[in-house]
Amino acid sequence: MTLLAALAGALAISFSAIFFGLSGVDPLTGAFFRVAYALPVLVVIWLTVRHRDQRTWQKRMLAFGSGFLLAVDMVAWHNAIGHIGAGLATLIANSQVVFVAIAAWLILDERPSRRIIIAIPVVLIGVAMVSGLGRGDAFGSNPLLGTLLALVSAMFYAGFILVFRASNNIQAPPAGPLMEATAGGVVTVLLLSPFTGGIDFAPTWPGHGWLIVLALGAQVGGWLLIGFALPRLPAAETATIILVQPVLTMVWGALIFDERPSTIQLTGAALVLAGVGFVAIARARVAPEPTPTTV
């Protein structure tokens, strides 16, 4: 059942970029309503388990603060989708596993294993190839900019994971920290709004229908399932689940949006997947821990 829950969560999250693309809204509006529609549902869920949430006030504020990193990650990722497509943008954003390892090394003095050190340049070479290397056959309106934005997304998501993990080191029910991080995301996107073109609050159909599905399917359902399942899975299965989501997103992007990356981009994508999987397995073998997939 645990593995099925993790797979279901990965499947739900794999549609995040697709639902955003189908909504037709701008990146900031999509980020805002993803968290705004999810927040009331998370509050209701948390109220049913709050008696089991023994985290301190400081830990709750830490979870709220992680929402800043999550919001910047989502805005950058949504912008990347517009330049390089849902599949490639999601794949690069999932290189957050590598940035988590680097940050843990630099900040927490968690020296990476030799396997991780070998995998990092493989991922970076793959990322460079996904950018298209300036070739005319590269997929995307601006593949270089899209790749850079997806890397920014990955870095902020790595920061989010580290802070979010620290906010729930006693493994309280995941609904509480997720609710607080989501609330932090709502506030952050509102604060970013005056500097990034503003949020379109006028509801549209079917655009906001897709955003509601995104919020409830990925932000609530997908994250809760994965947050529950990953800490309980063996290392190899954890790494597999981390890789399932970006692969599925690339498949949905090809089927729904007719995304067709070039041969060089697909080769780069394979290198990124291989490197990320290698890092995920290496880190999970050292200390299995909840590592959510990308937004």
- Kind and range of the H or E run holding 234: none
Amino acid at 150: A
> Is pLDDT of 292 > 60?
no
Helix intervals (H) in the chain: 2-14, 16-23, 27-49, 57-84, 86-93, 96-108, 114-130, 143-166, 175-192, 207-214, 223-229, 235-256, 263-286
Radius of gyration of the chain (CA): 18
Task: Give a yes or no: residue 295 inside a domain.
Answer: no
Asked if pLDDT for residue 236 goes beyond 70, the answer is: no
State mean pLDDT over 74-78.
Answer: 96
* Mean pLDDT (whole number) for 151-180: 86
Domain count, the chain: 1
Q: How far apart are CA 140 and CA 150, in angstroms?
A: 13
Distance between CA atoms of residues 285 and 204, nearest Å: 47
Tell the residue number behind the tokens 């697909």, with chain if given.
266
- Within-domain flag for 28: yes
Mean pLDDT calculated for residue range 28-55: 94
Phi, psi of 192 (to 5 degrees): -75, -25
Query: Does any domain span residue 150?
Result: yes
Q: Look up the pTM and report it.
A: 0.89
Evaluate whether residue 48 is within a structural domain.
yes
Asked whether residue 245 carries a pLDDT value surpassing 60, the answer given is: yes
- Looking at residue 288, its pLDDT comes to 44
Domain encompassing residue 21: 2-286
Per-residue pLDDT band for 289 (boundaries 50, 70, 90) equals very low
The verdict on residue 291 lying in a domain is no
Residue 278 lies in a domain: yes
Q: What percent of the chain has pLDDT over 70?
A: 91
- Whether residue 293 lies inside any domain: the answer is no
> Can you tell me whether residue 60 is helix, strand or coil?
helix
